[in-house]
Structure 1
């Protein structure tokens, strides 16, 4: 048997398609290339010599002669050959590791969301905020748009003496900030309001509110708001299922299209939430829930609702499907569940700054699920 034949069989071993006879033959001939005599080997000696022989083959040269090798020891090397030799050669660049029952590809262990987004101006121009330089990146009527050194977007109103030659339609033109899966961003509007945008979300707003009676914005996804107080100009957040009206307050809105509910959680001040049929006033520590065209109010732990903005996942008896969707958005991965977890709810806390392997392990600690990672796909295996 030639070395190329051994490599072909090792490829089969790695793919799980080799027969037991092929595995046995490959292991025997791999050692036979350097056999002088057949004394017994300790396990450490067997491991050492296997590595020497294997490295020689991979470098395309004749293996160094090894004096201590014993054919019956080949059987003891079975696990070593399959996991050590086969996987080492054919996955040198994408080595898979088995750690705490989570299989994770070291190169493709998904990283947390990046601080970037895409800005679409009123004239349709699109700006990648990851590529935009620090400083002034655009100007619109009565507004200058800056990217700060720490990666935020800031709209600053020009002085009242600034040129007003731009058309009124441009002055009132809408801007949109869009985050893809695996992205997040923060913007400060021209009125001083601050918005944190979660992954897979879009936020549409007027570049300036100077000539408007209302500060009306639109949200698809999730965002946390710290609204600047202005009693004369109510701030209104519109989603596909509701409107939230405030004068100045801190609150979170979750309105993803793939979720069954839209929630608004109030941390400070008061807000009025309206759906198609009714409206309700929220007080701090309360959350409105719109589901199946019904608006209801409940008391909640507000820290759980804004955990994403503070850098954490906090799950308190959370629906497993919702957890998977949150993880998928944040790490930009595809998660495949076998559908047997409809009634599963989990609790726990883990930092969103860690790679996905840490989050999956934290979920596995419950003992109710297991995960397997294949490239950009996460498969629920239990």
Structure 2
């Protein structure tokens, strides 16, 4: 976010026309003052702590409220507010700060981000909020163009440049959204809701093609016999040459699963080197790694059930309701509280595509007599 955009966003906040997501962006930006730049604070702006409290309190006061003509007035007049805003923009320049968790990999949460925003993290740790309607160049930390975003897809440049070290980007997709990537080798990756992928902006000759996934992704890998493609999901590593497969590795799930659509893959427990810990699956098979028992099971499946999300569909076939709840929460970015514990162990069949969450729950009520209520984005099942 540059100075111009920062001032524009602050002015729209003063006018009461910002969205809750934009207010969260402002909050994250302004909140960074609590530990940064205090020594550089311009004396002309007065007491820095008092000013920060005023602006933060104003945003917190209105965050999450619906925009209307009756919206609460701001605590400071527009002229004074923009004077402060100009000083803050000058102070921070073009840097846009987000909070991160130092031990994010241990928690399987690579990045804390503005609510409901897609975030791209560069190799130097800086972040960029990705709007699904944008058309723009993707640059590295040095300002070099490495790819292009067109709508909901980022395509990295495939021409090979002189590069000695791998440089990584990290893309995080929030609940309720999906996003696509085309890596520098032409491999296509579809990211499901609530997922993060870490990948090189350019693969290097003589090195394996390695990416890391938290959440769920569908891969269509470009074949390259000299450079195997490796996907790491928690303790499981999937190795391929060229194939189509789905990997699901959400932190809250009990297992890590790989469903093969085309080609063949080998799965290995990264913590062990024994060949007995490697498994090869063929198309229409699903390999599941149980996190608790550390055992791998392989079964025949209908792949459409596990890959339908890539085209906007969601299919449940003989699935326990506790698993259905998780998938609905990710798909629609809602919270489902189940007060009927016996319901979690029952198995159901259903399929949806363009339905809203209200329509989905209505279908469950009509077909399976499930009683529920919806308030905002929270669903309570009785």
Compute the TM-score of the two structures, normalised by the length of structure 2: 0.64
Aligned to 1:366: 367
Please list every run of 5 or more consecutive structure 2 residues that lacks an aligned counterpart in the other structure: 1-67, 69-114
Cα–Cα, structure 1 residues 184 and 193, in superposed 2: closer, same or farther, change >3 Å? same
Identify which range, 187-196 or 340-349, moves more after superposition.
340-349
Cα–Cα, structure 1 residues 132 and 375, in superposed 2: closer, same or farther, change >3 Å? closer
Q: Take 1:284 and 1:355, find their aligned partners in 2: how far apart are those partners?
A: 33
| Match 2:262 to one of 262, 268, 277 | 268
| Match 2:233 to one of 234, 239, 246 | 239
Q: Take 2:231 and 2:221, find their aligned partners in 1: how far apart are those partners?
A: 11
Cα deviation, residue 363, structure 1: 2.0
* Aligned positions of 1:77-156 closer than 5 A: 117-130=118-131, 133-139=134-140, 144-148=146-150, 150-156=151-157
SS at match of 2:310: coil
Q: Tell me if 1:347 matches 2:330.
A: no
* Aligned positions of 1:180-191 closer than 5 A: 180-191=174-185
Cα–Cα, structure 1 residues 262 and 355, in superposed 2: closer, same or farther, change >3 Å? same
Cα–Cα, structure 1 residues 295 and 133, in superposed 2: closer, same or farther, change >3 Å? same
Aligned to 1:22: none
Q: Take 1:133 and 1:286, find their aligned partners in 2: how far apart are those partners?
A: 38
Aligned to 1:256: 250
Residues 104-128 of structure 1, C-alpha deviations (whole Å, 9 max, x = no match): xxxxxxxxxx996211111112111
Runs of 4+ deviating beyond 3 Å: 139-143, 157-160
Confirm or deny: 8 A CA contact 1:143 1:190 kept in the other structure.
no
Q: Tell me if 1:290 matches 2:289.
A: yes
Aligned to 2:381: 380
Cα–Cα, structure 1 residues 159 and 206, in superposed 2: closer, same or farther, change >3 Å? closer
Compute the TM-score of the two structures, normalised by the length of structure 1: 0.64
Aligned to 1:279: 278
Q: Take 2:192 and 2:368, find their aligned partners in 1: how far apart are those partners?
A: 29
Please list every run of 5 or more consecutive structure 1 residues that lacks an aligned counterpart in the other structure: 1-92, 94-113
Aligned to 1:315: 316
Asked which structure has the greater CA Rg, the reply is 1
User: RMSD of the alignment, in Å?
Assistant: 2.3
Cα–Cα, structure 1 residues 241 and 368, in superposed 2: closer, same or farther, change >3 Å? farther
Cα–Cα, structure 1 residues 311 and 239, in superposed 2: closer, same or farther, change >3 Å? same
Q: Tell me if 1:210 matches 2:204.
A: yes
Residues 215-249 of structure 1, C-alpha deviations (whole Å, 9 max, x = no match): 11100100000000001000000011311000000
Cα–Cα, structure 1 residues 190 and 115, in superposed 2: closer, same or farther, change >3 Å? farther
Cα–Cα, structure 1 residues 191 and 371, in superposed 2: closer, same or farther, change >3 Å? same
Confirm or deny: 8 A CA contact 2:138 2:145 kept in the other structure.
no
Confirm or deny: 8 A CA contact 1:255 1:261 kept in the other structure.
yes
Q: Take 2:117 and 2:241, find their aligned partners in 1: how far apart are those partners?
A: 29
Q: Take 2:367 and 2:235, find their aligned partners in 1: how far apart are those partners?
A: 35
SS at match of 1:328: helix
Confirm or deny: 8 A CA contact 2:132 2:152 kept in the other structure.
no
Q: Take 2:364 and 2:231, find their aligned partners in 1: how far apart are those partners?
A: 34
Identify which range, 271-280 or 235-244, moves more after superposition.
271-280
Confirm or deny: 8 A CA contact 2:173 2:196 kept in the other structure.
yes
Cα–Cα, structure 1 residues 226 and 115, in superposed 2: closer, same or farther, change >3 Å? farther
Aligned to 1:329: 330
Cα–Cα, structure 1 residues 363 and 131, in superposed 2: closer, same or farther, change >3 Å? closer
Q: How many residues align?
A: 260
SS at match of 2:374: strand
Aligned to 2:186: 192
Cα deviation, residue 362, structure 1: 2.2
